[in-house]
Amino acid sequence: MGETVAGLRDELRRLIAEEVPADYLGAFTDDPSDLAVAQRFCRVLADRGLLCAAWPEEFGGRGAPVWEQTAVREEMWAHHEPRGAQYMGVNWVGPTIMRHGTPEQQHKHLPPIARGEVIWCQGFSEPDSGSDLASLRTAARRDGDGWRISGQKIWTSYATMAQWCFLLARTSPRERKQQGLTVFLVPMSDPGIQVRPIRSMLGPHHLNEVFLDGVRATEADVLGRVDEGWSVVGEVLAFERVGIARYARCERLLRSAPEVLESHWESLPAELRGRWARALTRARRARLLAYQVVSLQSAGRVAPGDAAAYRIAVTRLDQESAAVLTELAAFATGDGDRVRRFRRAVDDHWRYANAATVASGSIEIQKILLARSLLGRPRRTGEAA
């Protein structure tokens, strides 16, 4: 397996060098050509069976071992995610539909994801229910043989470009707020959906408000059982939190610093080089934690405590490495392409790292999940994940 994965990494790096511009820093910039690069590259990966390599063949994959998909994930994130928003569909929307979807939903949604043809967004957070997701107010009311959904979502990444939304809404009042929730697969083209971008230092497309006014949904749009969406969401969050290989980009940038600084490296303050070494060590530790969770998930076990431990480690790594790299970039003098690209990549990494403690679940919530796991307290039915 080791030689196979190593060969796969070589192939991925060759494809990136051939298909992705050297200055590429992600799909979600003010330049529309960056998104076009990502969409085109997804099709390149799909044509080679690499976009969803570990998916079963019946769903558009090639049944590769999960470690090959992990290698794809790492190489993509290390090189500024040239799949664009496709990682969302590949990492957790698709696998969740495989586990909980009807045959009709699987046939409808999985092949387009595997071909890199569709972008998904996530309708979870709301203005008054961020970390406390179960307190959401978006409601789905019975309307004949379906539902009408009304409410508001916020911080919805990629909503301006997505074709589908993985939407959580309340379908009935219950004693515990985690009960009575349902997942809907909703087309973003519905006339009842309005998207308003939120400008931020992360750039366009990342953050949006989504308003839902009488959005129509049918039984065919329900994922899993009505009123039991919280159990689906628990799996989603575990897959999502390990699905982005942030450690791979941290390690790549840290490893490149001595090569970029060249002769300046030896004259750096010893304290700064020590912090660089510690950050590199922690990047490798985060990688091992990710591998532990991947192994559990591949065996059919989704462990919230293990996913939380990884999330805490990689979040701290994001911010620690960003601080170290920012100081190192100040010593990178000259105006050559390599220096300029390094400084731009570090600046991009710093901006994302500042949002790391709240993205995909706040760090405080992750600590609660980890504490519960370590203390061995069983979670009561319907209790918040």
Label each residue of 322-381 as H, E or C. HHHHHHHHHCCCCCCHHHHHHHHHHHHHHHHHHCCCCCCCCHHHHHHHHHHHHHCCCCCC
Q: Are strands 120-123 and 164-170 parallel, antiparallel or unpaired?
A: parallel
**pLDDT bracket for residue 252 (50, 70, 90):** very high
Q: Are 66 and 298 in contact (CB under 8 A)?
A: yes
Contacts of residue 307, defined as CB under 8 A and 6 or more positions apart, other chains included, come to 237, 238, 241, 242, 293, 369
- For residue range 338-368, list pLDDT tens digits in order: 999 999 999 999 988 887 666 666 667 777 7
DSSP 225: S
Instruction: Mean pLDDT check: name the lowest of 69-83, 84-98, 152-166, 287-301.
Output: 287-301
Asked whether residue 297 falls in the same domain as residue 323, the answer is: yes
- Which amino acids are annotated catalytic? 240
Q: Which of 188, 183, 185 is nearest to 233 (CA)?
A: 183
Domain residues for the domain of 54 are: 3-118
Asked whether residue 371 falls in the same domain as residue 249, the answer is: yes
Asked whether residue 108 falls in the same domain as residue 147, the answer is: no
| C-alpha to C-alpha distance for 285 and 339, rounded to whole angstroms | 28
**pLDDT over 90 (residue 311):** no
**pLDDT over 50 (residue 381):** no
**In one letter, which amino acid is 296?**
L
Q: What integer is the mean pLDDT of 236-265? A: 85
Q: Is residue 239 part of a domain?
A: no
pLDDT on residue 284: 94
The CATH number covering residue 68 comes to: 1.10.540.10
Asked whether residue 187 falls in the same domain as residue 263, the answer is: no
Asked whether residue 267 falls in the same domain as residue 332, the answer is: yes
Q: Are strands 146-154 and 164-170 parallel, antiparallel or unpaired?
A: unpaired
- Of residues 385 and 71, more confidently modeled: 71
Q: Please count the structural domains in the chain.
A: 3
Contacts of residue 301, defined as CB under 8 A and 6 or more positions apart, other chains included, come to none
pLDDT on residue 238: 63
**What torsion, rounded to 10 degrees, do the Cα atoms 209, 214, 218, 220 define?**
-10
pLDDT on residue 64: 92
Instruction: Mean pLDDT check: name the lowest of 14-23, 143-152, 300-309.
Output: 300-309
Asked whether residue 110 falls in the same domain as residue 141, the answer is: no
**pLDDT bracket for residue 173 (50, 70, 90):** confident
Q: What integer is the mean pLDDT of 7-13? A: 95
**pLDDT bracket for residue 183 (50, 70, 90):** very high
**pLDDT bracket for residue 45 (50, 70, 90):** very high
